[in-house]
Amino acid sequence: MEEKLDKEKLSKFNAEVFSTMPDEPYLGPVPSFGGRRRKTPALDWCFRAAAVVLAGLFCWSLLRPEPPVDPTVFTARAADVYTVSNGVRSRVVLPDSSVVWLNCGSELLVADDYENGNREVALRGEGYFDVNSDPSDPFYVRTPGGPAVRVTGTAFNLSCYSPDREVRLTLLRGSVQMLTDENSTLAVEEGSRITVKDGHAYINRTPDIEGDIAWTKGTLHFDNTPMPEVLESLERWYGVEITVSDSSIYNNFFTADFRSESITRVLELLAITCDIVYAVDGNMITLG
């Protein structure tokens, strides 16, 4: 049985550690964000993946710590790859003046021939899209989990951080179609949210829209959110790594809004509301 953490000693330790930490996350420019990084045909990704297996996963991790969007769901050649690190949020202006705001830990691929009428992008992470209207030239967003989004001109928030998690789209304005597979197309109504998980689609016609897009205004929003999702969001938002020593922590749910609070204040609130103790070592956090 794992030994219980000493709350009194940890409290003193945490106070000393966090006294040296800034109160706000870094919101500055992304070093790799500007300009064209590379042109990579979809097949090249496959050959690179094979080469990685032969060369070793360690070498690949040194070259690119964050994996790219799954190329099997991106039919175009990738001209621009925009990567936003944990702890950072930023914006991409596409060639047709459509705008994508990217949340922490996200990546956007843009088609090589986007300027020639192929308005196709692929997203891994979370993005708020404001797409210029062009009924004759639909805009497509591919996701790691398989579902794609087809729009002509609209504003929506799309969350799709990994292929084994849910894809969630909240439509603020216009019209959107969710392509869940080759034979299934679902129309999304303005002001509603569609969630696709494990091959099933769920529609909420009265979602908390302000909560879904709170991150675009610098607010980290939780509303009875399961603890695994809370911890993943904290890692991305503050650029930290969280380890859980007591799996019962995952049974908790959490409700709170954070705007300029430091990670220490967030942890203090977690400790109070969920009876959690924490230890900090640099950007490594242990919960128990």
DSSP assignment of 137-204 = S-EEEE-TTS-EEEEEEEEEEEEE--TTS-EEEEEEEEEEEEEEETTEEEEE-TT-EEEEETTEEEEE
Give the model's pLDDT for residue 199. Answer: 78
Q: Provide the number of structural domains found in the chain.
A: 2
Angular region, 16: left φ>0, alpha ψ -120 to 50, beta rest: alpha
Verify that 199 and 245 share a domain, yes or no: no
Range of the domain at 91: 42-207
Give the model's pLDDT for residue 11. Answer: 41
Verify that 175 and 106 share a domain, yes or no: yes
Give the model's pLDDT for residue 179. Answer: 87
Residue 1 belongs to a domain:
no
Verify that 224 and 146 share a domain, yes or no: no
Residue 32 belongs to a domain:
no
Give the model's pLDDT for residue 183. Answer: 67
> Of 207, 226, 260, at which residue does a domain stop?
207
Verify that 79 and 179 share a domain, yes or no: yes
Angular region, 259: left φ>0, alpha ψ -120 to 50, beta rest: alpha
Residue 34 belongs to a domain:
no
Residue 145 belongs to a domain:
yes
Which regions in the chain score pLDDT beneath 70? 1-78, 181-183
Residue 268 belongs to a domain:
yes
Verify that 192 and 86 share a domain, yes or no: yes
Residue 159 belongs to a domain:
yes
Residue 102 belongs to a domain:
yes
